[in-house]
Every structure is written in C-alpha cells, then in structure tokens.
Structure 1
C-alpha cells in the first residue's frame, strides 16, 4: 500500500478518535462506507472496536486516543487487503441482486447484509433472464465480478462475467449470440448530476454515482454475484 494512502487512513483514524470521544461526528466517505454513524461501531474491524471500548471506559487523554487510533487503523489497512485501491471495511463475500425488489445487497461470509442499496435500475426489459444480445434484459444466475473499470462511461463499473458456457451454448443453439458487457455501474458521465429515471440500461445494473463509489471501495475483484428474479 502506498505511504500516502496509509497516512490518509491515519488521518481518518484521527477523525474516528474524535467521534468516539464525543468531539465530532464521523462524516468522511471512508467512515460512511464502513457504516459508522455517531457512536455506532458495529461495522468496525475488531482491533478498532477494542480501541473504541478502551477509550470509552478508561478516559484516555485526547492526544493519546488520536495516536492509538492512527496506529490501529493504519495497521488494519496494511493487513486488510486492497479493494480497488482501498482497504476492505467490512469484508464483502458476495453480492446479491434482487431484480423484482430492485435491491442490491453486499453480504458477508455468513450471508448477512453488510450494505443494502434500494431503487437499483435494470435493463429496458427487466423481467426474465438475459438470453441474447440486444434483448435488453438483466442476467439471472451466479457469476463473478471479475474486474473493475475506472474509466467507465458510467462513472465507475464492475464487470459481471456473463455469459458463461451455458449461456453461450443456449444462445448458439438458437442461432444467436448471448451478448455480454454486463456491468454494475453508476450514471452516465454525460448526465452531469442526478440520475436517470426508471429502467434504462441495456441489461446492466445501475446505481447512483455515490452508491457505485461505495461498492467500488468495498467489493474486491473475483467476488461472486448472484442475480435473482
């Protein structure tokens, strides 16, 4: 991890320490991605939970709290693994897309939601699995988020490994192409601000730009994704 990134995480730890000692409310993007609001610390890594409890119970002086917080968060950043250049807080084991409910869930290793995004947007033909190129449907099944594209025309994007061998075989049996280029992404760069209305993609899953930024930080390449009707 670059030294500059570790130092920025140390600065985040300073802000976290202030929040836990009642000096400021945590509002930085990194803390928001961790799900920390006010005095909540349920989403923090284990070492930081210990740190918070210690500060609350023993009345450690403010300056010492800052130094300890910086050290602990920096160490966690070095050991936690990089996710598109960011430390993984909390660890996401799987992504689930519920098409009819218009929800995207980030799940931990036990299958519990880490984060839920509502009002996702799908392809122009949202009902039914994608079968062919140009049908504007969103796939259904289990795939991988195999790589991210930071230069996407839709803010940021994570590629879904559709089609797999079964998808290709079915399409070929019908004399057609299965298509591809299915992503979880943000809003069109040409839009400027806000978001498009309704279902508008060619089969991708669209989030707000703020939401895809969080997903980009939390979801590593190779994460399984399940898309259900």
Structure 2
C-alpha cells in the first residue's frame, strides 16, 4: 500500500513538473523592431531600434553561398522580408516564417522559367533522423537551438522586418 501511494505521489509530481517545462516562453522586455542576419558571419541579431537585444549563431541552407533563387536550391534568401507567420507545431520544435518570396523573387524565378520556392523559417534544431553534425544543414531556412527559438518565438512579433545580408 505504501509503495502504491508513493508511486502515485511521485507520478503526480512528475506530471506537475512536466507542465512547467513548456516550450512557450513569455517576454516582457523592449519590443523587437528589426532582425538583421549576416550569412557570411552566421549571426542573427534582434534589435530594439538601434540597440541589439540578442545575438545568435545560426546555421543556413546546405548551399549557403549566394541568394535563394529557385525552389530546391538549398540556399537561404537575401534581402528584406518580414516575419509573417508562426508555427507552434513545427517539425523543428518551433518556427517563425519569413515572407520569402517577395515580388522581385517571384519575377526573377518566373523570368528563368522556374519556381522561387518558399516556406523559409527561423526554426529550432534538427528533428530525429536529420544529420546536422556539419554546419548549414537546412534546406534554406535559418536554424538555431531549440532553447534559442523559444526565446525568438516569444520576442519577435509577426510583421517585424528582417534584413538578410550576404
């Protein structure tokens, strides 16, 4: 009887603690007004006006050099976009979407008789079965750790501009 009661008590405690370990964090600091990403340095910065709030090391698309131009090219876009959506059920822990392709991206790809691609996100680490031992393992997205995407997800609002530089 003691063992059953102890097991029930410990099980309840474990469930209670598991509920505290949410991937959804809160943020009540200064608003993030812009993101800037520098592909060559593998850095992402979150700004409040001219002040850097946070900086992150990132991984990019497996074909990291040059701007994304076509579907399946494995490149990360370059240009000015906005955060336009969020996915709490992402295969990569959490993710926030980037508004690629813009009108210029679409026009360029169409002029080449190709599709520009899409579904570019800032997301967490790799899901099981993806080999991310080497840097730049995504299909064109921007990857950070799961803990870092939790912070970014809480801090960055839809409509926030992001500049992606070579």
Match in the other structure for 1:104: 44
Structure number with bigger Rg: 1
| Residue pair 2:96, 2:122 contacting (<8 A) in 1 also | yes
| Residue pair 1:131, 1:171 contacting (<8 A) in 2 also | yes
The CA distance in 2 between the partners of 1:220 and 1:159, in whole Å, is 11
The question of 1:115 aligning with 2:54 is answered: yes
The CA distance in 1 between the partners of 2:75 and 2:127, in whole Å, is 22
Alignment gaps of 5+ in structure 2 = 1-20
Match in the other structure for 2:148: 211
Quote the offset at 1:91 in angstroms.
1.3
Q: 1:216 to 1:196 in 2, by over 3 A?
A: farther
Structure 1 residue ranges, 4+ long, deviating more than 4 angstroms after superposition? none
RMSD between superposed Cα atoms in Å: 1.9
Secondary structure at 1:124 match in 2? coil
Greater percentage in helix: 1
Match in the other structure for 2:134: 197
The question of 1:142 aligning with 2:84 is answered: no
Alignment gaps of 5+ in structure 1 = 1-28, 30-83
Larger RCO: 1 or 2 (CA < 8 Å, sep 6+): 2
Quote the offset at 1:191 in angstroms.
5.9
Paired positions, count: 143
* Structure-1-length-normalised TM-score: 0.59
